[in-house]
Structure 1
Amino acid sequence: MAASSQTVGRGLFVTGMLIAGIWSVVQVSFVFMAGYDELVLMPVHLAFALAVTFALVPLVPPERKIDEGGDPRPRRNPVDAALSVLAIAASAAIMVFYLLNEDRLALRIPQVDPLTLADEVAGLALVVLVVEAARRTAGLGMTIVVLVFIAYAFLGPSLPMGLRHSGLSFGEFIDLQALTTEGIFGVPISVSATYVFYFILFGAFLDVSGGGRLFIDLAVSATGRYRGGAAKAATTGSALMGMTSGSAVANVMGTGIFTIPLMKRTGYTPQVAASVEALASTGGQVMPPLMGAAAFIIAQNLGVPYSQIVTAAIIPAAIYYIAVLFAVDIEARYRRIQPIPAEDMVPVRESLLRLHLLLPIVYLVYAVMTGRQLMAAAVESIGVVLVVSLFSAATRMGPRAVLKALAEGGSRAIMVAVPCAAAGIIVGVVVQTGVGVRFTELLVGLSRDNLLICLIAVSCGCIIMGMGLPTTAAYIMGATLFAPALHQLGVNALAAHFFVFYFACLSMITPPVALASYAAASIAGASASRVGWTTVRFGLPAFLVPYAFVAEPAMLMEGDLSDAAISFGTALVGVYALAAGNIGFLRRKNRRIESVLLIAAAFALIYPSAWVSLAGGLVFGMIFLWQGRTAGTEDGARTGGPEHETAVLKGRTS
């Protein structure tokens, strides 16, 4: 029986990877086509995503999903296999339906022209398949939220006054969700089909060529010889990986299997090692030039070029990662963590021989920043990967490697495409019923027009919504429900959407459901709950970054560059003070009052007032100087005593 289940699982896995490869080829072909309607590309995109999902992800998904490093060929029982094959066939039939009815669907008037029986059957099947695929890929949390909004669409007339609406009939619901570009085929899946897929495919080609491992090796070579080098390598490597990954959990599983054991060997506890990796990997979603899928949706929602989103993200991303490096450096000094042992260092010469693999990223950044169409830029960058891989026998991509990259790209894309489709159901209901407007009025009313109270409420709401949801889905819901309230209170649109985006990302490390922290804990062999809270403690400065750029939009490159430079400088001092106060060590172990003053100074430095920031800077400076005078006389060896000074002189911790 076990052998039979394994055979069935292997067969579906091969089928799924084959469909994924074909999907990649079809998507690339759209780049060279002209004149197709959105209701052709998006149904084709979604149908392939659904088919790949049902082939690769079992009815009862394993604890670790495909992009989380789980078994790529899980066992499938006969019932699971039969239902999955039926779902794959239904997905194909839905794609055929849309292709055959392309002209009619493009010309019909939504909510006016009557539905045919085929429209109703195809629409209902599509909704059911999307919900089930979301359950398999995004988990039960996403499924429950979608079902609640579907129920809300039908039960509107019987709800209390604050939530009541006229309700949707079955036909109106199907029309909205399956036959227009306001439901399932709305902005989220449109962005997945026209932008995100191509960048995921680019990342797959770069990984197969060896670019992913190069990032880790470069990070180890650059930081490994310094104190706490393993944690600094994890931070730097995850930042580089984040440029092409855009998924916190995938980043953890891609880099953590190398960096977490390395951190443990150099003296970090399993709990801290996992926390550093989770925090660094989560930042990859805000790391230019690719960022997470939600960044493309921000550009679409605001109607601005993606290059503007990349530019806006530079200072916040820099502060985020510098804050992480501050934290790991302070922890390394406090715990006296040593550099990476020589035997674990990657020879610099070996890394230099593969530096040509960075050329595709250079080209992609150039193409994006110069306004090249994103689909074309990503596909051209894939071509650059293929060309530069030929420069060395170790990186050369032959036909087998190309096929593997095509299949990998398609299989990774389901983790964005399916949640985007499910989020489209929610957005359609919110817009059609008007609940978004009422929610905005409620949020503004409860905050009594106080921006700070509203920001705190929105940040908590985004984190709660993001528990167990992919970042993209969490952002879409937050942008729909929360961003309008911030805009109504005077926050500019870009800052409002970035605020929601950041906290959707940070939900990946915030307990009680912190997917990135839990993935790292599984590698480190540490308690998932303890890793989650430790990650929050180390990442506390990151939680202040969104408040800083709402208060000072210059940090998003909006306004005078001199204002941006000043804000950047004060924010860096602020996050350093916060990290020192939070960890309990600046130049020696802090007294309790010193930690409290450092945390207060951090908030003052980030506050958008020159005088308040100056006061915070003075407090930080006085504590820094005072600890410099007393570092050798208090708290013993751990806090800067003679042994520590000797180590510094020997270069062991510098």
Structure 2
Amino acid sequence: MTTDLEKAPEALQQLVADSDTGGRKPTGITAGVIFAVAMLWALFQYWYASPLPFALGFGILNDTEARAIHLGFALFLAFLAWPAFKRSPRNRVPVVDWLLALVAAFCGAYIMLFYTELSTRPGQPNTMDIVVGFAGVLLLLEATRRAVGWPMAALAAIFLAYCLLGPHLPDVLSHKGASVNRLISHMWLTTEGVYGIALGVSAGTIFVYVLFGALLDRAGGGNYMMQVSFAALGHLRGGPAKVAVVSSALNGMISGSSVSNVVSGGIFTIPLMKKAGYGGVKAGAIETMASVNGQIMPPVMGAAAFLMVEYVGIPYADIVKHAFLPATLSYIGLLYIVHLEALKMGMQPIIKTTPKPWRIRVLRNAIGIAGT
């Protein structure tokens, strides 16, 4: 099955790969290893999220162990999937990245591998603990730089530096500070640093939801929502722009990525909007705004909803319920804007010369609503 993303130009496919799946496209054994590790990660997450461990009586993991495995998988794949720099090879994985991936996976899973030993000496890290923790923090920053970009890695590094440089800062910003050993121990050997709430939400909830959305999109869910939007709005005044808004809202309900949302929908809607008279800049702006707004559309909300549940303590159902109205209003506002733009440009609706019988229209709408 050919997906919408596979129909996009190669440059756009590379943009999505750089953002979502890494920029590399290795072949042979390397591709097999990445696929196998990714499958093991997905199976582990489904095992951890399911009631099977408790029903079968084995494979039961506590939160800390699950977070360590989750981080180990993530770091291993990060160094294999994302190249270090733009000029780095993309059809193979350098030996250095293999070594970094193995070391990062060990550091990520360290708290699980030595869980018993660490529990017998809380707050008293030995030299091995500090070395592994220091390497783990550096490798996590590097993986973040590769996958997300310099801004997030630099922000994390600034806060780490603030912990160490507290006594040397001006009075307003000064604090007692912390030693390197204490900082590393707190960040890597407790559940208040890297293995805190955010990683727990990712391991317990976000991964499964995002994987489900990705599978649904690859199975044709995004294309189906696009077709439903075209059937409902394509004939209206400024129809292509309204289709872009509604289809992006529907895709945002299952997708955790704004970039893939823009590309998968934009390859259809942007040319149609340009043909309708919106112009390239306006067409790109409409598609981008509609796709980025998908990050506030329930139920996934770009994974933010699950973090809010843990940090704020509000039930997930309440967050979705209260987020639905402002998200809907934002899309209504976008529809209103593109409609006004269509009126200003003198666009006309497409008149159907041979309307279908009412029975067929009712049946078609019922099938579309039921499928959606």
TM-score, normalization: structure 2? 0.82
Identity %: 37
Deviation at 1:97, TM superposition (A): 2.8
For residues 485-564 of structure 1, what are the structure 2 equivalents within 5 Å? none
Give the conservation status (yes or no) of the 8 Å contact 1:39–1:106.
Answer: no
Separation of aligned partners in 1, 2:117 and 2:317: 36
Separation of aligned partners in 2, 1:341 and 1:180: 65
- 2:291 equivalent to 1:281: yes
Describe the SS at the equivalent of 1:168.
Answer: coil
Equivalent residue pairs, number: 334
For residues 162-201 of structure 1, what are the structure 2 equivalents within 5 Å? 162-201=172-211
- 2:73 equivalent to 1:56: no
Separation of aligned partners in 2, 1:107 and 1:197: 32
Q: 1:10 to 1:330 in 2, by over 3 A?
A: same
Q: 1:222 to 1:179 in 2, by over 3 A?
A: same
Separation of aligned partners in 2, 1:242 and 1:146: 28
- Per the alignment, residue 88 of structure 1 pairs with 101
- Per the alignment, residue 134 of structure 1 pairs with 144
- Per the alignment, residue 5 of structure 2 pairs with none
- 2:43 equivalent to 1:33: no
- Per the alignment, residue 336 of structure 2 pairs with 326
Give the conservation status (yes or no) of the 8 Å contact 2:24–2:90.
Answer: no
Give the conservation status (yes or no) of the 8 Å contact 2:68–2:111.
Answer: yes
Describe the SS at the equivalent of 2:253.
Answer: helix
- Per the alignment, residue 38 of structure 2 pairs with 20
- Give the letter aligned to residue 41 of structure 1: A
Q: 1:56 to 1:13 in 2, by over 3 A?
A: farther
Q: 1:351 to 1:62 in 2, by over 3 A?
A: farther
Give the conservation status (yes or no) of the 8 Å contact 1:228–1:328.
Answer: yes
Deviation at 1:267, TM superposition (A): 1.5
Give the conservation status (yes or no) of the 8 Å contact 1:178–1:185.
Answer: yes
Describe the SS at the equivalent of 1:9.
Answer: coil
- Per the alignment, residue 10 of structure 1 pairs with 27
- Per the alignment, residue 90 of structure 2 pairs with 74
Deviation at 1:107, TM superposition (A): 5.7
Separation of aligned partners in 2, 1:146 and 1:226: 48
Q: 1:154 to 1:327 in 2, by over 3 A?
A: same
Determine which of 312, 331, 336 is the counterpart of 1:302.
312
- Give the letter aligned to residue 16 of structure 1: I
Determine which of 243, 249, 271 is the counterpart of 1:239.
249
Separation of aligned partners in 2, 1:13 and 1:228: 44
For residues 417-456 of structure 1, what are the structure 2 equivalents within 5 Å? none
Separation of aligned partners in 2, 1:220 and 1:94: 49
Separation of aligned partners in 2, 1:97 and 1:162: 37
- 2:125 equivalent to 1:125: no
Give the conservation status (yes or no) of the 8 Å contact 1:266–1:339.
Answer: no
Give the conservation status (yes or no) of the 8 Å contact 2:237–2:342.
Answer: yes
Give the conservation status (yes or no) of the 8 Å contact 1:50–1:91.
Answer: yes
Deviation at 1:309, TM superposition (A): 0.4
- 2:68 equivalent to 1:43: yes
Separation of aligned partners in 2, 1:28 and 1:193: 10
Q: 1:206 to 1:137 in 2, by over 3 A?
A: same
**The 10-residue stretch of structure 1 (53-62 or 283-292) with the greater mean CA deviation from structure 2:** 53-62
Separation of aligned partners in 2, 1:43 and 1:85: 20
Separation of aligned partners in 2, 1:186 and 1:59: 27
Deviation at 1:225, TM superposition (A): 0.5
Separation of aligned partners in 2, 1:302 and 1:52: 31
Deviation at 1:98, TM superposition (A): 2.9
Describe the SS at the equivalent of 2:152.
Answer: helix
Q: 1:336 to 1:16 in 2, by over 3 A?
A: farther
Give the conservation status (yes or no) of the 8 Å contact 1:229–1:338.
Answer: no
List alignment gaps of at least 5 residues for structure 2. 1-22, 55-59, 353-359
Q: 1:236 to 1:8 in 2, by over 3 A?
A: closer
Deviation at 1:27, TM superposition (A): 0.7
- Per the alignment, residue 270 of structure 2 pairs with 260
Describe the SS at the equivalent of 1:58.
Answer: coil
Q: 1:333 to 1:28 in 2, by over 3 A?
A: same
Give the conservation status (yes or no) of the 8 Å contact 1:243–1:290.
Answer: yes
- Per the alignment, residue 602 of structure 1 pairs with none
Deviation at 1:248, TM superposition (A): 2.1
Q: 1:289 to 1:7 in 2, by over 3 A?
A: closer
- Give the letter aligned to residue 27 of structure 2: R
For residues 351-500 of structure 1, what are the structure 2 equivalents within 5 Å? 358=372
Give the conservation status (yes or no) of the 8 Å contact 2:237–2:349.
Answer: yes
Deviation at 1:234, TM superposition (A): 0.4
Deviations 1:336-376 (A, max 9, x none): 2355799xxxx999998787764xxxxxxxxxxxxxxxxxx
- Give the letter aligned to residue 18 of structure 1: A
- Per the alignment, residue 14 of structure 2 pairs with none
Give the conservation status (yes or no) of the 8 Å contact 1:230–1:339.
Answer: no
Separation of aligned partners in 1, 2:75 and 2:114: 20
- Give the letter aligned to residue 161 of structure 1: D
Deviation at 1:117, TM superposition (A): 2.3
Give the conservation status (yes or no) of the 8 Å contact 2:75–2:108.
Answer: no
Separation of aligned partners in 2, 1:331 and 1:293: 33
- Give the letter aligned to residue 181 of structure 2: G
Give the conservation status (yes or no) of the 8 Å contact 2:245–2:286.
Answer: yes
Deviation at 1:253, TM superposition (A): 1.9
Describe the SS at the equivalent of 1:244.
Answer: coil
Deviation at 1:121, TM superposition (A): 2.1
- Per the alignment, residue 260 of structure 2 pairs with 250
Deviations 1:125-166 (A, max 9, x none): 211111001100111111211111121111111111111111
Q: 1:232 to 1:106 in 2, by over 3 A?
A: farther
- Per the alignment, residue 291 of structure 1 pairs with 301
- Give the letter aligned to residue 274 of structure 2: K
- Give the letter aligned to residue 121 of structure 1: V
Separation of aligned partners in 1, 2:69 and 2:221: 30
Separation of aligned partners in 2, 1:252 and 1:207: 13
List alignment gaps of at least 5 residues for structure 1. 1-5, 64-72, 359-654
Separation of aligned partners in 1, 2:120 and 2:316: 31
Deviations 1:293-338 (A, max 9, x none): 1221111111121111001102111110000000000001111235
Deviation at 1:74, TM superposition (A): 2.8
Determine which of 212, 227, 231 is the counterpart of 1:217.
227
